């Protein structure tokens, strides 16, 4: 099993263990912005401090971080009836603590990828391709707008968002990736989707204006997530 596949399985299992523990405590899963898969542990970086972690998880940094050992996670119970808590996790690259994954469902608005245009679009294509086949994103719709045809992409590829109207109306929701900032009718549709009370769709666009979360991709192959002090090194 490759590192990517084994790492995906480990993260998928870890967040399912978390969801099971939270359900047993009759509490919701925490809002998580990022997950770090290290050599000996899984670390959750919470969007909002929370010190009521279920058994098996250690709270640090005044509730901003939860962590659990891989040794414990491998044998911890999982209730498969509980929905996947973070279906839009994507691998951003490597930091000193391990492999970093970002939760694209967390921002309350548009996510923008900026910096080197070619690398930004390449990162968006990579995220969309992996989400379309990842173990935790089952059921999430992945739509790309104005990207070139990609035979390895298992989602929807359209030239304008109106072409995906039937998919947008499905109750499951998912994520939209734009090769550039949405304009005109596309922007109207994006604003409508992001303003839904029970938001079903997340939106990522290359070079978007008025974004809630911005990632900056450098020509040196690093990403500034705006979430961590250290840059992320893209995996090649």
Instruction: Give me the CATH number covering residue 154.
Output: 3.40.50
Nearest to 4 by CA among 104, 68, 94: 94
Q: Are strands 32-37 and 41-46 parallel, antiparallel or unpaired?
A: antiparallel
Q: pLDDT tens across 141-198, in order?
A: 999 999 999 888 989 999 999 999 999 988 889 999 999 999 999 999 999 999 999 8
Question: What gap in Å lies between CA 167 and CA 156, rounded to an integer?
Answer: 9
Residue 40 forms part of a structural domain: yes
Query: Which stretch of DSSP H or E encloses residue 59?
Result: strand 58-60
Residue 20's domain comprises 3-86
Model pLDDT for residues 78-134, shown as the tens digit of each residue: 999 998 999 999 999 999 989 999 999 988 889 999 999 999 999 999 999 989 887
Distance CA(81)–CA(201), nearest Å, equals 23
**pTM, two decimal places:** 0.92
In a domain, 100, yes or no: no
Q: How many CB atoms lie within 10 A of CB 46?
A: 19
Domain count, the chain: 2
Residues 132, 207: one domain? yes
Q: What are the φ and ψ backbone dihedral angles of 214, each rounded to 5 degrees?
A: -120, 130
CB 114 within 8 A of CB 43: no
* Residue at 235 is within a domain: no
Tokens of 152: 């390895």
Task: Tell me whether residue 234 is in a domain.
Answer: no
């Amino acid at each position: 099993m490759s590192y990517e596949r084994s790492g995906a399985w480990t993260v998928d299992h870890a967040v399912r263990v978390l969801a099971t523990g939270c359900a047993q405590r009759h509490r919701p899963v925490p809002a998580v912005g990022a997950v770090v898969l290290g050599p000996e542990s899984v670390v959750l970086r919470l969007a909002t401090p929370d010190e009521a972690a279920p058994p098996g998880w250690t709270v640090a940094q005044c509730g901003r971080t939860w962590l659990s050992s891989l040794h414990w996670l491998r044998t911890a119970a999982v209730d498969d009836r509980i929905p996947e808590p973070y279906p839009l996790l994507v691998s951003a690259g490597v930091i000193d603590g391990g492999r970093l994954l970002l939760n694209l469902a967390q921002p309350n608005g548009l996510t923008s990828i900026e910096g080197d245009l070619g690398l930004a679009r390449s990162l968006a294509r990579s995220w969309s391709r992996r989400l379309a086949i990842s173990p935790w994103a089952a059921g999430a719709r992945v739509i790309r707008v104005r990207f070139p045809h990609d035979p390895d992409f298992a989602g929807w590829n359209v030239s304008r968002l109106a072409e995906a109207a039937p998919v947008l109306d499905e109750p499951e929701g998912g994520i939209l990736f734009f090769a550039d900032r949405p304009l005109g009718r596309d922007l109207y549709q994006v604003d409508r989707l992001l303003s839904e009370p029970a938001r079903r769709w997340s939106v990522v666009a290359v070079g978007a204006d008025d974004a809630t979360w911005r990632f900056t991709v450098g020509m040196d192959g690093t990403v500034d997530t705006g979430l961590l002090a250290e840059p992320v090194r893209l995996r090649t």
